[in-house]
């Protein structure tokens, strides 16, 4: 497994401006990775939702973004980390259409559908980490 072609970039998400910066960084990386316009839009939408979740539910956190090259595939990997309360019911949170009432209503399940790889690591009282990857076709 090769590392990213560029070092990972870490962005603080502590206000709405961080969500906007996250979208801009993801767009730049998606273009650099040569994702199609449709795939770029899917990744940016998922990133926006996850960044907003990090801010609203996690009380702020970070997004680490990197270009990755694995098994001959290039992609964009994003890692959202917060030290918030965690998600008590992961199955419920991943149910299609479930939302706690904020954000774009995509929820985690909508974000998961928009990307190729989706890993959720959470535990009440320990915070939440969501890692997503979109591969170039």
Work out the mean pLDDT of the chain and round it to a whole number. Answer: 90
Rounded to a whole number of angstroms, the CA Rg of the chain reads 14
- Token reading at 118: 């989706």
Is the confidence at residue 98, as pLDDT, over 80?
A: no
The answer to whether the beta carbons of residues 48 and 23 sit under 8 Å apart is yes
The answer to whether the beta carbons of residues 18 and 81 sit under 8 Å apart is no
Chain segment 49-88, per-residue pLDDT in tens: 999 999 999 999 999 999 999 999 999 999 999 999 999 8
With tokens 């964009």, the residue in question is 76
- Token reading at 47: 């990133």
- pTM assigned to the model: 0.91
Is the confidence at residue 3, as pLDDT, over 90?
A: no
Residue 21 confidence (pLDDT): 97
Side-by-side strand order, sheet with 73-82: 9-13, 61-70, 73-82, 127-135, 117-123
Residue 5 confidence (pLDDT): 47
């Amino acid at each position: 497994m090769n590392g990213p072609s560029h070092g990972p970039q870490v962005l603080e998400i502590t206000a709405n401006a961080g969500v906007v910066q996250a979208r801009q960084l993801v767009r730049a990386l998606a273009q650099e990775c040569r994702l199609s316009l449709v795939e770029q839009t899917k990744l940016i939408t998922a990133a926006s939702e996850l960044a907003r979740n990090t801010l609203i539910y996690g009380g702020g956190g970070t997004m680490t973004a990197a270009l990755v090259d694995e098994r001959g595939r290039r992609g964009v990997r994003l890692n959202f980390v917060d030290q918030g309360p965690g998600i008590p019911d992961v199955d419920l949170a991943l149910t299609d259409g479930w939302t706690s009432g904020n954000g774009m209503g995509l929820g985690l399940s909508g974000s998961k559908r928009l990307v190729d790889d989706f890993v959720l690591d959470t535990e009440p009282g320990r915070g939440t980490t969501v890692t997503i990857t979109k591969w170039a076709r």
